[in-house]
Amino acid sequence: MPPQIYLNDVQRDLFSVVQARETILVAGRAFGKGMVHALFNRRNMERMPRSCTGIVSANTKRALTNTLPSMLVHWEKWGLKRNVHWCIGIKPPKAWNWPTPLAPISNWENVLSFYNGSIGFIISQDRTGTSNSFSFDALDVDEAKFIDPVQFHDESYMAMRGNRQYFGKHSYHHSMLISSDMPVTRKGSWFLEYDKKCDPELIDLIRGTVYEISITKKKVDDFTKRGVVPPEWLQKQLAGLHRDLCQLRAVAVDYREVSTIDNLVVLGENFIKQLKRDLPPLTFQTSVLCKRIGIMRDGFYSSMTEKHKYTAPNISHLDNMEYDFEKLKDVNSLMDADVDTKQPICVAFDYNANINWLVAGQPRGKKLYVLKSFYVKYERKLEELVADFCKYYRYHEHKRVIFYFDATAKQGAYAVNSSTFATVIANAFKRCGWIVTMKDIGPPMKQVVKHLLINRMFAGNAKLQPMINKGNNEDLLISIQTAAVYNGGKDKRGEKLVESEENKLESRTDGSDAFDTLCIGCETYPEHSSMIAVTSSW
C-alpha cells in the first residue's frame, strides 16, 4: 500500500494492528467506511489468490450506487486500474492471462475479478438465491442496517465454508467485515449483537503482541545491520510471536462504534458543522455521531411493522448500466421499479421556516406506495424542493402531480410576500413542466382522529394500506418510527427545540406530518376511481 495513503486512527488500528477475523464497524457518515472495505477486500484478494469473497448488499441499487463505487475509488487511487488489475461484470479475456478462480463461474455479470484470479461475488438480497452453490472465503457486508438478517444467515453466512486446504493457514480466511451507521429499527439492529461477542481483553492482547513483534523484529534487524546472524533463540521467539498473533486474530471479534468526528482530520470541522446544519437532528445523531436511540414501541404509528417496508430497485435498468459508475452517479426514478410512469404522482408537503418536506406516493390496488421523500433546509426553500422532485422524476412519462394540501398551505410563504405555500408549490411545478391538480382537504385533521385513521390504514382496515420504500425514505422512516404520542395525538413538543444543544435527541415530526397529509388525501380524497386501480404488475 502506497505510504501516502492516510488512515485515521481507527482505520489504522483495524487493519494495521488488530486484523480480527470478524470486524463489525458501526460508524457515522463520511467516516471512511469505503476505505475500510477497500483495505479488507484488497488484503483478502491479494493474499488468497483465486479466492471468492461474497460482497453483500441489501439491493442492486445500493450495491451499484453506494457500496462498490465507494470502495473502488480507493483502488483506483492506489494504482489498481480497471481492466488492468481488476474488472467487473465481464469475464476476463484470455489475453490478460489471469488465473481462473477456484470456484467455477458460469455467469460473470455479478463478479468483481482481480488480476490474480480472486473474485468478489456481488450478492444483492433482492436477487433471491444469489449465494447458492458458492463457497466463500470471506464476507463483506456494507450498510448492514438494510440487510435482512435471516436471509443473510441462511444464504450468505452459511456459504462461508471450505477451501481450508488452500487458505487455512491465514487468520483472515473466512473473515467477515460488517459496516453500517447506527440503525433505528429493531430489525436493522441485528449486527449490534456482536458487541456481546467482542472480548476487549483479547483485542488488547493482540495489540500487545503486535507491539512485542515490532520490538523483537527491531532486535533482529539490529543484528542483521551489524552483519551478525541473529541468535536462534531470538528468531524462534519472533516466529512464536507471529504464530500466537495468528491464533489470536483467528478467533477475535472486533466491534467498534465510532462517529464521523473520528475522521475529522480528513473532513474538517466545517464539514461536520454542515452535516449538523443540513441533516434532520435524529439523523445527525444516528448517522453522524453514531448514537444509539430507543426504538419507539408505542408511538403514534403503533400499527406500522416491518411488513410495511419494501425495496424496489429496477434491476433490469441497473444491469443495463453495465457497471458504468459515472452514469450510476445520476440517481433517478429509472432505478425504481415501484413507480408507474404512466400515472400521476401524489404529493404532500410540510412547511416550516427551517425545513420543508415533500412525500410522494402512488395508490395502486389496495396499497399506497410511498415512493420517495425529499427535504430542504434553511436557505433552500419550496422552489428548490420541487426542483429536486422534478429532477429525480424527469423521465416520468405522465408529468402530473396530485397535490394534497390542508389549510396550513394557505398561509403566507414565510411572511415575505402575499403568495401562499400552495401557490408557490403549484407555480414551481408548472415551471418545471408538470401539470398540477390541486386537492384541498380542508382544515388539519384533529390529532386523535388522524392517529386512528392512519393506524387503521396500516392495519389494513381502510381503503389503502401504506407501504414505504425504505431505500428512498430513510430519513422519513426515522421521523415516523420515533414519533411519540402525547395527549392522544402526535408529540410535537420537541419541534422548536431540535436544533438546540440542550435537546439533541428530539426528532422533528415534520417529515411524518407530510406523510400524514399524503395518507389522508389519498384515503379520503381520491382524485378519481382509476387512481386506485391496478396499473402495474410490480
pLDDT digits (tens, 9 = 90+) for 450-486: 989 999 999 999 999 999 999 999 889 988 888 877 7
The residue written with cell numbers 394500506 in the block is 465
Q: In the structure, what pLDDT confidence band is assigned to residue 32 with cuts at 50, 70 and 90?
A: confident
CA distance 516 to 512: 6
CA distance 28 to 259: 5
- SS3 (DSSP) at 224: helix
Pairing of the two strands 119-124 and 309-310? unpaired
Contact 8, 265 (CB under 8 A): yes
The residue written with cell numbers 467516516 in the block is 31
Contact 489, 451 (CB under 8 A): yes
The residue written with cell numbers 396530485 in the block is 402
Q: Residues 6 or more apart from 161 whose CB is under 8 A from it? A: 135, 136, 174
Percent of the chain with pLDDT over 90: 60
Cα 124 to the center of its chain, rounded Å = 13
> Alpha carbon of 82 to those of 107, 207, 512: distances in Å?
19, 35, 44
Round the average pLDDT of the chain to a whole number and report it.
87
CA distance 72 to 229: 44
Q: Output the pLDDT for position 184.
A: 75
**Which three cell numbers, joined as nine digits, stand for 337?**
421499479
pLDDT digits (tens, 9 = 90+) for 419-437: 899 999 999 999 999 999 9
CA distance 470 to 473: 5
Contact 108, 56 (CB under 8 A): no
Cα 70 to the center of its chain, rounded Å = 12
pLDDT digits (tens, 9 = 90+) for 496-538: 544 433 333 234 578 899 999 999 999 999 875 444 433 333 5
- Vertex 534, ends 529 and 538: CA angle to 5°? 150
pLDDT digits (tens, 9 = 90+) for 66-94: 889 999 999 999 999 999 999 999 999 99
The residue written with cell numbers 483467528 in the block is 250
Q: Is 198 exposed, middle or buried (0-12, 13-18, 19+ CB in 10 A)?
A: middle
CA distance 68 to 62: 9
The residue written with cell numbers 386523535 in the block is 448
pLDDT digits (tens, 9 = 90+) for 218-242: 999 998 899 889 899 999 999 999 9
CA distance 47 to 44: 5
Q: In the structure, what pLDDT confidence band is assigned to residue 353 with cuts at 50, 70 and 90?
A: confident
